[in-house]
Amino acid sequence: MKDILTAPFLKEVCKILDNMYRMGWDERNGGNLSYILKEEEVAEYLDLNQVIRVIPTIFDASALAGKIFIVTGTGKYFRNVMDAPATNLGIVRVGKDGKNLDLLWGYDDGGRPTSELPAHFRTHISRLENDPEHRVVIHTHATNVIAMTFVHSLEERAFTRTLWQMCTECMVVFPDGVGVLPWMLCGNDEIGIATAEKMKEFRLVVWAQHGIFGTGRDIDEAFGLIETVEKAAEIYIKVMHMPILQSITDEELKILADAFGVTPRAGYLNV
């Protein structure tokens, strides 16, 4: 059996978490990630019949029964993942009844999955209903996105339109727009339910005064969505205090959409 530390999926997770920490988005133990792994790829590195321990869940994840995830640990710092992946990450399989997780690898210090796991699992369920190829959920404290939620309307159409107008690539990357939630207590099922409801329509959900949830078929897609929104939010924060002499018009956004073969969310453009 191959060494799990050489697994491409583990290396990819370690790299992206370290990158987000270096970008200043995941201070202390902020942020979390969950990634659906294919059974056949995990089986090259782990004995799937060997369960280290069983971890009870506070959420009925029966809709995900049998699926294997790599998940960041609760209270863990992204900056430590690269040096100690087996302490800061875990690979778990959802039990048949959805009420327990089989720990297959990781959490070597007795740790557990992120406290945001209910929000992650509910999001995975919502996205899989829309896209069977969905695999990744990333939550991070993107700095300028958080700043934008203090000074901009949280109405989704207005929030999305501002982001689209900040950078040419935004319409191409997230034509479906951005979901937005008002401030809510994190780490409980209420915010997980609200996020999952938004994820029926969006691939990105902003948590006001907190951060962003991004999803995708792979890590590049999920991270790419987040960094594009963050870049647009950064531009907005930099220019919002100054007179705007020109910007991307709705007509130009429509030209962009047509040129790249994407469909803007209905009713968001005034054309």
Residue-wise pLDDT tens digits, 207-265: 999 999 999 999 999 999 999 999 999 999 999 999 999 999 999 999 999 999 999 99
Residue 188 pLDDT level (bands cut at 50, 70, 90): confident
Nearest to 114 by CA among 60, 66, 75, 65: 75
- Residues 21-33 have a mean pLDDT of 94
Q: Does residue 82 register a pLDDT over 90?
A: yes
Q: What phi and psi, each to the nearest 5 degrees, are found at residue 76?
A: -95, 150
Q: Is the pLDDT of residue 158 over 90?
A: yes
Q: Are 58 and 189 in contact (CB under 8 A)?
A: yes
Q: Which of 27, 39, 41, 116 is catalytic?
A: 116
Instruction: Spell out the domains of the chain, with CATH numbers in brackets.
Output: 1-113 (3.40.225.10), 116-271 (3.40.225.10)
Q: What does the pLDDT read at residue 119?
A: 92
Supply the pLDDT for residue 186.
83
Which residues have C-beta within 8 Å of that of residue 216, sequence separation ≥ 6? 134, 135, 136, 203, 222, 223, 224, 225
Whether residue 227 lies in the annotated active site: no
Whole-number pLDDT of residue 212 = 97
The kind and range of the H/E element at 102 are strand 100-106
pLDDT of 50 above 80: yes
Give Cα 254 to chain centroid, integer Å: 28
pTM exceeding the 0.85 threshold for the entire prediction: yes
What is the pLDDT, as a whole number, of residue 189? 82
Q: Return the pLDDT at 1.
A: 85
For the stretch 84-122, pLDDT in tens is: 999 999 999 999 999 999 999 999 999 999 999 999 999
Contact in structure between 214 and 142 (CB atoms under 8 Å): no
* Closest alpha carbon to 30 in 105, 126, 152, 115: 115
**Sequence-ordered list of residues with C-beta below 8 angstroms from that of 32, at least 6 positions apart, any chain:** 71, 72, 114, 116, 120, 138, 139
| Confidence band for 21, pLDDT divided at 50, 70 and 90 | very high
Q: Could you give the strand order of the β-sheet that contains 204-207, starting from the edge strand earlier in sequence?
A: 53-56, 100-106, 89-94, 68-72, 32-37, 136-140, 211-216, 204-207, 179-181
